[in-house]
A and B are shown apart, each in its own frame.
Chain A
Amino acid sequence: MWLGLWMLSQWAQGQTAAVTLVADSAGWSLMRQGAQHEILGAGAKAHFELLEECGANSIRLWSTNKSALLDSAHQRGMSVMLGLYLRPERTGMNYNDVHAVEGQLAELKQEVLKFKDHPALLLWGIGNELDLKYTNTRVWDAVEELAKFIHEADPNHPTSTVLAGIDPAKIHMVRTRCPNIDVLGVNAYGSIEKLPLNIRRFGWNKPYIVTEWGVNGPFEAPTTSWGAKKEPPGGAKALTRLRRYETIISADSSMCLGSYCFLWGQKQESTATWHGLFLSDGSATDGVDAMHKAWSGEWPTWRAPSIRNIRMNDRGWKVEHILEPGSEVQVDVDLEAVEGDIQWSCALFPESQSKKMGGDRQESLEEIPADFSPVNQKSFVFTTPKKSGAYRVFVKACRDGNHCSSANLPFLVRK
């Protein structure tokens, strides 16, 4: 009988993939099924095959709404950081409202019980950016209650909560109000440059994961005088991603357990190309190649072209472009040389007026019909709209139709 029970427990362990945190002289490690599990991850809902090819081993989900993705990840041998969506104060949640908070926690506790034994589960992410524009620190009591419940109901998986960048106050709150949080998750874009230093200076003494990172976000970008964000070209963004991974994330092996790059997919956030490593038509960008290099140490054999710079009438993307209605404009790009034919395309859009924040959903924009005429292989001309307003021109260079790089320029049409 004992043999049977032992076999049963071994089977159960294999099914639930117990995850532990270990500290030694080299620092913190995440152990999964007895082996170190450095998180090479992405915020991903699709393109799993390419994710696996690039060398990733984990995905992050922000909520339990799309639970089928746990199975998709498991089929590819990937782990999952599973989000438990606590409503942020900025969406109208009142953390002084006992009934509303308890109702929310009751829902999430059921989700914990539902998913705690999923073999892909790596750790829990309690809330995402609850600290963004918040004023009520009672939210940390809700985080702690859920973390405590998880430790009781699911001792096999660590708990984390995800901050929108860090400051001394947030670190103090999580450290003192949420003792059942095992790992800190930090979404860091521009602020990633000083993240390892600030984690230590602000007094966090447990491990951390960079739960979202990439290029500087639209909220950190320089803007034109009419409020349009200046987005770096795709090639420049890809190099930034690679540098940040190699010199910041990978370099902090004593406290950083790994990262989830943002975003293995596409989303509208100021522009349709800012954070996504894929374009809206599903094409992989040069950013995917950069992540391949980051995770596997090698560039892929078949790389996308990479737009390093874009100019309008010979002036770069960092300056303002104010144009007459109906005037002819030339757009040039600098492209990193790759073998094979390059297919070019251009598109004109109105400037986004969204004031959403924190990755909250923004609506996609409608393309404006425009004629783009090639001057040579890296230059185009088009005529500005007759109607005054803020616009943005996009250029895309692709190889084989689905390995692409893009760049864009905002401009103002004014009489």
Chain B
Amino acid sequence: MRRGLFIFGFCALGWVGCNSMQEMSLYEVDLTPTSEQLVSSYPHRHIYLDSCNSNLFGHRSHPCKRVEFVKGNSIEGEDHLSIVWQQGDSCRYLGVGFPWANYVGKNLKNLEQIAALQFHVRLDSGSVSKIPMFFSLVDYGGRQATAKINLLNVEGQKLDEEWRIVHIPLATFRATEKGLNLENVKELRIEFQREGHVHLDAIQIVPFHHEGTLLEARGENVCEELPLVMNARNQWWGLNGSETMGWADGEEFLVLHYDKTGPQRDWNSCGVALNKWEALDMSDVYSASALTFQLHGQFSPLNFSIWSATGAPRQVRQRLSRDHCLQFEEGIWSCAIPIKQFDQHEQFNWSATREVRLTVTEDTDATMHELQWSEYRGNPNKVHRWIENHRQ
């Protein structure tokens, strides 16, 4: 009985076990090398080991630079490099080069995001946060890409008399951007500026994970909809209360009270940001738009300009005339300046529009209401008709 139970139990276990197993091919093994394996197996990963086993140029004596192979206190091999330099007018460029692996063209493309240049560095004395030395990879087309030491990638985040391991991620050379062909790298060059003395050793390519976070560009807003109302007081400049230009107390209109011979005559310009002083892309809307506002009081030929953050021309201008305004009541003018009337509007960089500015040049006593950048679908040369059609 006991034996029967044992056989039954064994069979049941076998049945359950077989059912829970997954089918698997005998040859389905992931042979893809890890990043670490890929870099560690790269045949040309050693750049400088010692003077006997490495290619180096630029080490001959020079009045501004002295390169020596020091035997003691080395990290790897028989010796390490000691480089002393002092830049002067007679020697603007100071450097050494490593055409490692006997000048063979090195393909670093697959290592770009997973590896770094690693070396050991120390000073003779003292401690610094930076050394004026720059690392360039040069391809066989003569193009080069340069990177420098980032203190965050220095062991202990300081450079002093101790050997410190430094990493320069290959990605920070930004090869694509600089046009460097990473598939055919000829050499590594180190350029020295100003003055200094370093010991270098064990230059090689090693596996490295680079924290290369790139933030999204800030403030690149696109204006998709009009109107833009320009009444945010903290986005204006050039206002000096009600002396020449300023907001009316508790009201949402600008007072323009300008005397061109008065003591405040220099305060004749003011402006407003469209996107908190960041660039605003108006490319899609500018051609069918206008600056619109009401002028109460005396008509004044104000000068308007629109400014961009980049490009040339940096500003486009238009002077307000009676052709832009219709008087519906005594002393109340409704105005529109089509953007297509601004000079050089076709050359202006509307993708980086930043500011609207107005300048008063004649004696003025008026108030400006409801200044906004509005949609304007009409003939730019028939402003009066458009105003009549859009009168509220």
Q: Which residues of A contact B (CB under 8 A)?
A: 65, 94, 96-100, 102-104, 106-108, 110-111, 114, 135-138, 168-169, 171-173, 194, 197, 201-203, 363-364
Residue of B nearest to A100 (CB): B150
Is B277 part of the contact surface with A, judged by Cβ < 8 Å? yes
Verify B150–A169 contact, CB threshold 8 A: no
Least Cβ–Cβ distance between B34 and chain A, in angstroms:
23
Interface SS, A side: helix
Residue of B nearest to A113 (CB): B129
Least Cβ–Cβ distance between B194 and chain A, in angstroms:
6
- Which chain A residues lie closer than 8 Å to B237 at the CB level? 168, 171-172, 201-203
A-B pairs with the 7 shortest C-beta distances? A103-B150, A110-B129, A98-B213, A107-B129, A168-B237, A169-B277, A96-B215
Alpha-carbon distance between A410 and B273 when the two chains are bound, in angstroms: 42
Is B9 part of the contact surface with A, judged by Cβ < 8 Å? no
- Which chain A residues lie closer than 8 Å to B151 at the CB level? 103, 106-107, 110
Identify the stretch in B71-79, B152-160, B292-300, B335-343 within 8 Å (CB) of chain A at 4 or more residues: B152-160
Question: A100, A107, A203 — which one has the most chain B CB atoms within 10 A of its CB?
Answer: A107
- Which chain B residues lie closer than 8 Å to A107 at the CB level? 129-130, 151
Interface string of B125-154 (1 = CB under 8 A from A): 000011010000000000000000011110
Least Cβ–Cβ distance between A168 and chain B, in angstroms:
4
- Which chain A residues lie closer than 8 Å to B309 at the CB level? 135, 169
Interface SS, B side: loop
Verify A106–B238 contact, CB threshold 8 A: no
Which of B153, B213, B214, B267 is in CB contact (< 8 Å) with A103?
A: B153
The number of inter-chain residue pairs (CB within 8 angstroms) is 85
30 pairs, CB–CB < 8 Å, chain A vs chain B: A65-B132, A96-B215, A97-B214, A98-B211, A98-B213, A99-B150, A99-B152, A99-B211, A100-B172, A103-B151, A104-B150, A106-B151, A106-B152, A106-B157, A107-B151, A135-B352, A137-B278, A168-B238, A168-B273, A168-B277, A169-B354, A169-B355, A171-B237, A172-B237, A194-B266, A201-B237, A201-B238, A201-B270, A203-B237, A363-B92
Interface string of B214-243 (1 = CB under 8 A from A): 111111000000000000000001101000
Verify B266–A197 contact, CB threshold 8 A: yes
Verify A135–B212 contact, CB threshold 8 A: no
Interface string of B255-273 (1 = CB under 8 A from A): 0000000000011011101
Alpha-carbon distance between A99 and B211 when the two chains are bound, in angstroms: 7
Residue of B nearest to A196 (CB): B266
Given contacts A97-B212, A168-B355, A201-B237, contact A135 B310 (CB under 8 A): yes
Interface string of B175-207 (1 = CB under 8 A from A): 000000000000000000010000000000000
Question: A94, A136, A137, A168 — which one has the most chain B CB atoms within 10 A of its CB?
Answer: A168
Given contacts A65-B194, A168-B271, contact A96 B354 (CB under 8 A): no
- Which chain A residues lie closer than 8 Å to B132 at the CB level? 65
Q: A98-B211, A138-B215 are in contact. List 12 more A-B contacts (CB 8 A).
A: A97-B214, A98-B213, A99-B210, A99-B212, A100-B172, A103-B152, A106-B152, A107-B151, A111-B129, A136-B217, A168-B238, A172-B277
- Which chain B residues lie closer than 8 Å to A65 at the CB level? 132, 194
Alpha-carbon distance between A98 and B172 when the two chains are bound, in angstroms: 12
Q: Which residues of B contact A (CB under 8 A)?
A: 89, 92, 129-130, 132, 150-153, 157-158, 172, 194, 210-219, 237-238, 240, 266-267, 269-271, 273, 276-279, 309-310, 352, 354-355
Alpha-carbon distance between A244 and B151 when the two chains are bound, in angstroms: 43
Verify B218–A172 contact, CB threshold 8 A: no
Least Cβ–Cβ distance between A231 and chain B, in angstroms:
22
Residue of B nearest to A101 (CB): B215
Verify B215–A98 contact, CB threshold 8 A: yes
Least Cβ–Cβ distance between A208 and chain B, in angstroms:
16
Alpha-carbon distance between A201 and B354 when the two chains are bound, in angstroms: 18
- Which chain B residues lie closer than 8 Å to A96 at the CB level? 214-217
Question: A103, A108, A114 — which one has the most chain B CB atoms within 10 A of its CB?
Answer: A103
- Which chain B residues lie closer than 8 Å to A99 at the CB level? 150, 152, 172, 210-213
Alpha-carbon distance between A415 and B158 when the two chains are bound, in angstroms: 62
Question: B152, B158, B210 — which one has the most chain A CB atoms within 10 A of its CB?
Answer: B152
Least Cβ–Cβ distance between B359 and chain A, in angstroms:
12
- Which chain A residues lie closer than 8 Å to B89 at the CB level? 364
Least Cβ–Cβ distance between A276 and chain B, in angstroms:
15
Which of B153, B213, B219 is in CB contact (< 8 Å) with A137?
A: B219
Given contacts A99-B211, A135-B310, A168-B277, contact A110 B158 (CB under 8 A): yes
Alpha-carbon distance between A290 and B4 when the two chains are bound, in angstroms: 117
Least Cβ–Cβ distance between B145 and chain A, in angstroms:
10
- Which chain A residues lie closer than 8 Å to B218 at the CB level? 136-138
Alpha-carbon distance between A202 and B92 when the two chains are bound, in angstroms: 42
Least Cβ–Cβ distance between B245 and chain A, in angstroms:
10
Alpha-carbon distance between A102 and B152 when the two chains are bound, in angstroms: 8
Least Cβ–Cβ distance between A43 and chain B, in angstroms:
18
